[in-house]
């Protein structure tokens, strides 16, 4: 089929880089941006351009930030002795939205994966260890429950003698159907059982 607009085709292909956006979704988005909301599309393009030029990483925790140190790292009200280690900025945002952590963060930007050739240096482990030496009393490992998450947690543990390391509880999620759970999740839930009184 001959294209009616090569530039429109390029816009569709560009939109497909977004997670979960296939050819049809990209086509709908492109049509909507061009035909229905041109003013909003221009705003989107302007904000996207500005974000790409101005957003970098905080030099202490590596979350996305327009400044050398983000608002979380510079907040004197936060507990600077507790450091939560997360895999990605999205995971940090989940904890912030929930308002469950009043300490500091460190974003690894990935997990150690020897099979994929991802070493500790590639996921900022040396930078994390530098942060830990700055007076951190507790490191909370909030990593994905996977082989890579386990490998990363064990490596961090081996590099942090004398530091209190804690992990997020794992097991049956609220509202989870026991019949639908895999054996590993059941094992973790049973192993982490608590006295109920």
Give me the number of domains the chain comprises.
Answer: 1
**CATH number reported for the structural domain that contains residue 124 in this entry:** 3.40.1360.10
pLDDT tens digits along 64-89: 999 999 999 999 999 999 999 999 99
Q: Specify the pLDDT at position 14.
A: 94
- Cα distance between residue 139 and residue 167, in whole Å: 8
Is residue 116 one of the residues assigned to a domain? yes
Is residue 12 one of the residues assigned to a domain? no
Is residue 22 one of the residues assigned to a domain? no
| Side-chain half-sphere exposure of 52, counting CA atoms within 13 A | 6
Q: What percent of the chain has pLDDT over 70?
A: 96
Q: What's the pTM value of the predicted model, to 2 decimals?
A: 0.81
**Following DSSP, what letter does each residue of 59-114 receive, concatenated?**
TTT--EESSSS-HHHH-TTSEEEEEEEESSHHHHHHHHHHT---EEEEE-SS--BG
All residues at 6 or more sequence positions from 9 whose CB lies less than 8 Å from its CB, including other chains: 3
Range of the domain at 110: 76-167
pLDDT (mean) for 121-141: 94
Q: 34 and 41 in contact (C-beta within 8 Å)?
A: yes
Q: Specify the pLDDT at position 38.
A: 82
Residue 197, pLDDT > 70, answer no
Split at pLDDT 50, 70, 90, the class of 2 is low
Phi, psi (5° rounding) for residue 26? -65, -40
Q: Specify the pLDDT at position 195.
A: 66
């Amino acid at each position: 089929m001959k294209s009616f607009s090569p530039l429109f085709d390029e816009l569709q292909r560009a939109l497909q880089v977004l997670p979960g956006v296939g050819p049809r979704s990209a086509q709908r988005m492109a049509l909507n941006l061009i035909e229905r909301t041109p003013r909003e599309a221009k705003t989107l393009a302007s904000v996207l351009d500005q974000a790409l030029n101005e957003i970098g990483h905080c030099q202490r925790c590596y979350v996305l930030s327009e400044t050398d140190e983000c608002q979380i790292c510079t907040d004197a009200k936060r507990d600077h002795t507790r450091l939560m280690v997360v895999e990605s900025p999205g995971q940090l945002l989940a904890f912030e939205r929930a308002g469950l952590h009043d300490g500091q963060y460190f974003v690894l930007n990935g997990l150690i994966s020897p099979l994929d050739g991802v070493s500790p240096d590639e996921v900022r482990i040396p930078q994390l260890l530098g942060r830990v030496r700055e007076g951190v009393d507790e490191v909370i490992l909030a990593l994905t429950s996977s082989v890579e998450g386990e490998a990363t947690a064990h490596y961090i543990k081996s590099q942090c003698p004398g530091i209190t390391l804690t992990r997020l509880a794992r097991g049956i999620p609220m509202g989870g159907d026991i019949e639908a759970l895999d054996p590993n999740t059941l094992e973790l839930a049973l192993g982490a059982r608590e006295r109920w009184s």
